[in-house]
Amino acid sequence: MVQSPSFITLFNPFMSLIVHKYGGTSMGSTERISNVAKRVAKWARAGHQMVVVPSAMSGETNRLLALAKELAPARLNDAYNRELDMLAATGEQASSALLAIALQAQGLESVSYAGWQVPIRTNSAYTKARIESIDDKRVRGDLAAGRVVIVTGFQGLDEQGNITTLGRGGSDTSAVAVAAAMKADECLIYTDVDGVYTTDPRVVPEARRLQTVSFEEMLEMASMGSKVLQIRSVEFAGKYKVPLRVLSSFTPWDIDLAEEAKSGTLITFEEDENMEQAIVSGIAFTRDETKIAVLGVPDKPGIAYQILGAVADANIEVDMIIQNISKDGKTDFSFTVNHGDYARAMDLLKNVVVPKLGAQEVVGDTKICKVSIVGIGMRSHVGVASTMFRVLAEEGINIQMISTSEIKTSVVIDEKYMELAVKALHKAFGLDQAPA
């Protein structure tokens, strides 16, 4: 049986190293920051060494970036990215300092660090940097001295000494990376929801909270649009086997520690016989996808590389890809990118790639969404994808693109049908019913 890491922590309370991560809503006001401090203090007084990674206060990053847009020309572009990182990083710095002050007011020794002070080393891809290494010597020294250490999420330092940020949701990645580097006993991700659900309860009120979800399922759900955890944080957790739990920061701060340690959703790294064995564990969806099609491309070896290589060199991530059957030596090549990268990708293709390849034209569609079914049970059950397609057909929903793996099937559909598709699929796979 897979045992919850929380029990390991509770049965070995002395000198266990715990990482807490708190999202923007959890840090949204001085009252909430005070409650976070009380919760952290509870864990520290129980004998745990505590490292806390907070996000900026809710809405602060958007406020800062809005100021930049007021000052910049028509729209912000890559030329501004270094300064945007300098600006955005201040949000987490403020919340970290405030939390340290709140902890000190609780009578605990505490110190806050910006990512560059740790340091957390990253590459130089401004606004979407990747962590390369973490030097934990300074943090360990503070922990050994009995201090609670707060490390800013979302940011780091590149080789040239410039501040970088990890992209939206980057505080999750920071927390898991810190936990991995320090070999923490557990990483708890506190959010405004009380765990991972079969789908978004705001779309399907009957959605259920999962007691456990496998790492593979969580990775697929994060990549397919679930907003509970940022995908790079799940990748870190999987690579370094970081014990991970998602739970709510809005439970009373003085909840019994044993009860809190068993709440939320545990992300497991082994398939346990007692885990929920539904064929499909969840429905993920995202409106953040856009579709781009390069039409009339010469159908010859290397054409996919010539298109996607240029896109990758621009640091634009591609998701779903389709190449049509060749006709008269020409083919159409379609793929999806994030909304935030759509304009750059279209400019690149229209002005550089298409003229070079001799393609007919490039067209885009921003009114699409991606809906995915995810579940480790799909490995051993046939007909799951066909059930998905049947349900969508019965609702009159046309499928534009399809992507599959061992434990997921994703489709691109018209954005206006997203909620209808999610509700129909959730019901069709029995996700509104508790497991037997």
Q: What is the DSSP string of 173-202?
A: HHHHHHHHHTT-SEEEEEESSSS-BSS-TT
The structural domains of the chain, with segments of one domain joined by +, span: 5-273, 277-436
Q: What is the pLDDT of residue 380?
A: 78
DSSP E strand boundaries for 186-248:
186-191, 212-214, 244-248
Same fold, 5-273 and 277-436: no
DSSP at 15: T
Lateral strand order in the sheet of 120-122: 131-134, 120-122, 155-157, 163-165
The token pair that represents 131 in the structure block: 């962590």
pLDDT at 278: 63
Average pLDDT over residues 34-54: 97
**pLDDT for res 270:** 63
Q: CA torsion 331→337→341→345, rounded to 10°?
A: -10
Homologous superfamily (CATH) for 5-273: Acetylglutamate kinase-like (3.40.1160.10)
pLDDT attached to residue 13: 46
Tokens of residue 75, six digits: 């729209």
Band of residue 77 on the pLDDT scale cut at 50, 70, 90: low
CATH architecture for segment(s) 277-436: 2-Layer Sandwich (3.30)
Report the alpha-carbon distance of residue 119 to residue 148 in Å, rounded.
17
- Among residues 182, 183, 188, the alpha carbon closest in space to that of 135 is found at 182
Q: Is the pLDDT of residue 9 over 70?
A: no
Contact 368, 400 (CB under 8 A): yes
Amino acid 167: pLDDT: 87
- Pairing state of beta strands 289-298 and 361-365? antiparallel
Mean pLDDT of 302-323: 90
3-state secondary structure at position 344: helix
Is the CB of residue 248 less than 8 Å from the CB of residue 194?
yes
With a cut of 50, say whether residue 424 has pLDDT above it: yes
Highest mean pLDDT among 7-11, 234-238, 270-274, 371-375: 371-375
> How far is residue 74's CA from residue 61's CA, in Å, rounded to a whole number?
20
Three-state SS for 156?
A: strand
Q: Look up residue 78 and give its two tokens.
A: 């890559």
- Residue 74: the pLDDT is 62
pLDDT digits (tens, 9 = 90+) for 127-165: 989 999 999 999 999 999 999 999 999 999 999 999 999
pLDDT of 7 above 80: no
Per mean pLDDT, which range of 11-20, 111-120, 203-212, 361-370 is the poorest?
11-20
What local confidence, expressed as pLDDT, does residue 352 receive?
86
In this prediction the pTM is 0.80
pLDDT band at 436 (very low <50, low <70, confident <90, very high): low
**Residue-level pLDDT at 353:** 85
Residues 191 and 228: beta-carbon distance below 8 Å = yes
The per-residue pLDDT for range 202-244, each reduced to its tens digit, is 899 999 999 988 888 888 888 766 678 878 888 888 888 998 9
What mean pLDDT comes out for the span 33-51?
96
How high does pLDDT run on average in the chain? 89
Cα–Cα distance for residue pair 7/176, rounded to 1 Å: 19
- Residue for token pair 């793929």: 335
Each residue's pLDDT tens digit, 387-403: 999 999 999 999 999 99
Rounded to an integer, what distance in angstroms lies between the CA atom of residue 51 and that of residue 66?
31
Specify the pLDDT at position 277: 55
Confirm if 390 and 281 have CB atoms less than 8 A apart.
no
Query: CA of 90: how far to CAs of 64, 127, 171, 387, in Å?
Result: 9, 14, 13, 48
